Structure formats: C-alpha cells, structure tokens
Structure 1
Amino acid sequence: MGKLLGIDYGEKRIGIAISDEQQNYVFPGETIENSSSTFKEIKDIVEKENIELIIVGFPVNMKGQESAQSEKTKKFAQAIQDRTKISVKLEDERLTSQLAKRLLKTVPGKKKQKGNIDRQSAVLILESYMEKNRK
C-alpha cells in the first residue's frame, strides 16, 4: 500500500487531501489556487508525499448525469495523469461540498474560509474512495 492523493477540483481553488501509507486515515492538505502553476504544485505534492494513486472528485447531478463541469474535470484528471505518470481515478463527489460546509459549522474559529471547504471536500472524496475499496 501507499499514500493516496484526493483532489476536489474547482475552477478557482483545488482542495487537497492525503492518506497515510496504510490508507486508514485521511488528512486535509492545502488549497491550491487554480492557476498556471497548478500542475507543477500537484506534481510537487505527488513527488514529496510519494503518492501511488490520485483520486479526483467527479461532479455529477443527483441522477448521476454528467455536466459541463464533469467534462472539465475529466480533462483536468487526464492532464494530471499525463504530467505525473500516476494513475488517476474519478470518484463521485455528489454532496461533498454541502457536507463539508455542515461539518465545518461545528468547528470553532475561522470556519467560513472557502479553502477549508475545498480541503474538507477533498477529504470526503478520498474517504469515500477508500471506504469503497477496502480490502
């Protein structure tokens, strides 16, 4: 086993989460501003953390249908795979942002920062993938 990288892709910000080596726990990472340096930043994280698989949240509607954002996410995931040479899988991310907002309401302090929602969404996406793929 090895570490997994969870990504909540957004047009403005990208939330990051990383699992431990045994894939038992997920830790929030940073929030990356979506810019011209995005792929370099992700590649740096992959190399620094020795990531073996990348999980990108895949937006579909409540009926499971794809949208314009789904297509952008597919292109983003493919670009990450091409640049890092690490396999990328898509994980249904329905309701993760809403759940992340609810979870952060229970945390004291600066809970309304948008980056926190992106990171927490990445955690939920990665936890969902790990739960479905437990051996």
Structure 2
Amino acid sequence: MNYIGIDYGLSKTGISISDSVLKVATIKDTVKTENLINYLKKLYKNGDIFIVGLPISMSGRYSKQTYETIDFCLKLKNLFNTDILLIDERLTTQRSFSMTKNFLNAKKAKKNKDQNSALLILQRFLDNPYSSIKLEEKKPYKLENIEYNSILINDIIIKNSNIYNKSDILAKNPYVFWWYFKRNKRSTTLFDDLKNSYDVLITKDNKLDESNITFQKIIVVGD
C-alpha cells in the first residue's frame, strides 16, 4: 500500500508518494490539473490512500479554495473507493518555496513549489497521522420549521433551508462546510465570527466545546 500526497490546484497539482513501511515522502510529479484524474488512474494501486492538503486561511477559516479541494476529493473518493485524509496545508506552499530557492533560482523554485508542497503535506501526515481529518459524508437532518430567528447550527447538516437560511453555522468538519457552501450558505470555523448568545442551538452532542456562547434552548438531533 502507498500513500499518495496531493497539493491540489485549479491549474497545477503537485504529487508525492510514500510506501506504508518506510514512511518517507518523495516527490513524484507536478501535473496539469485537467490531466490529474488520468494521471492518478495510472499511479493508483488497489488499497492506496490519498493524503490531500486542505486549504485553510491563516486565521483558520475555510474558503472557496477549500470548497474546490473538497469537491475534488469527493470525486476522487467515489472514483477510487478509497480513503481520503485531509491535512492542514497552512504555510506549506511558502515553506516549500523558501526551502527550494536555497538551492535553485527563483524561477525554478516557483516551478517546483507544487510538488514540494505535496511532499511536505504527505510527510506531515506520515510524522503524525492523527493530525489528519478523514473525509466522510455526513447525514443531513430534516427538522420542522423553528419559530426562533436567532439560531446556531453546530457542525451538522440541516436539510431544511427555511432553518439554515436564518441560522449562523459553525462548520469545522470539511464535509459540512462543503455541503452548505454548495448551497451558497456561509459558515465559519471560528467562535469569534459568532454572536454571544442565541435563542436556539441545534447540535448532535448536546454541547458546544470551548465556547461561552449562551442559549435559551438546545435541540439535539441523532441517528
């Protein structure tokens, strides 16, 4: 089994690789993203796992680039029927460029930055597998309309647009973020973006960790 590291970009994508025994990432290639799927079909062997860099802003927020990467990963997961593990890629591109330009000129360093980023993403996973997030589809929940207007949804998918369109959404899970973004609904990963109090919290585990936000009512959904 191999781990395949990916630094996904809209125009170019960096690729790295490592086996599961030595656990040392090596550079594989930089490919045009339009050719990426065909390239991976030739590279992939049954049982391989993809390690993909997850774009996150320095403040810790997700973005349109995060959405594009998750959207690609879901296609990859369905095509190869294998695990996709996401790694926070903050500072990876900057670090790979700085590392490379020490022994290459700036033009060559820029050309190689994508594959070097893929190498750093994969090595970060190999050094600490628990730092990754496994990309998994989440079940959407259907609720009846809620009369309150001040609502916070905590990292779950509420299918009723009459509810989520009048709610603030905390979406730390990448798939939850992707689901709402696809429907043009903004969410956040940060408590600082939220209000100090809400009428209702909709959650799955009856709590909101590391938060001083207050609620009048808690609605707990479950399987």
TM-score range, shorter chain: 0.7 to 0.9
Q: Distance in 2 between matches of 1:38 and 1:28?
A: 16
Whether contact under 8 Å (1:23, 1:130) holds in the other structure is no
Identity level (%): 32
User: Of Structure 1 and Structure 2, which has the larger fraction of its residues in helix?
Assistant: 1
User: Residue 46 of structure 1 aligns with which residue?
Assistant: 44
- Cα distance, 1:113 vs structure 2: 4.9
* Structure exhibiting the larger radius of gyration computed from Cα positions: 2
**Greater RCO between the two (CA within 8 Å, min separation 6)?**
1
Q: Give the match's secondary structure for 2:50.
A: strand
Q: TM-score, normalised by structure 1?
A: 0.87
- Cα distance, 1:21 vs structure 2: 3.6
Residue type of the alignment partner of 1:44: K
Q: Distance in 2 between matches of 1:117 and 1:61?
A: 18
Gaps of 5+ in 2: 131-223
Matched, 1:63 2:45: no
User: Residue 220 of structure 2 aligns with which residue?
Assistant: none
Q: Distance in 2 between matches of 1:83 and 1:115?
A: 29
- Cα distance, 1:30 vs structure 2: 0.7
- Count of matched residue positions in the alignment of Structure 1 and Structure 2: 130
Q: Distance in 2 between matches of 1:17 and 1:115?
A: 15
Q: Distance in 2 between matches of 1:74 and 1:3?
A: 21
Matched, 1:83 2:79: yes
Residue type of the alignment partner of 2:13: I
Name the CA shift for 1:77/1:23 in 2 (closer, same or farther; >3 Å): farther
Residue type of the alignment partner of 2:62: E
Whether contact under 8 Å (1:14, 1:118) holds in the other structure is yes
Gaps of 5+ in 1: none
Name the CA shift for 1:85/1:65 in 2 (closer, same or farther; >3 Å): same
Q: TM-score, normalised by structure 2?
A: 0.54
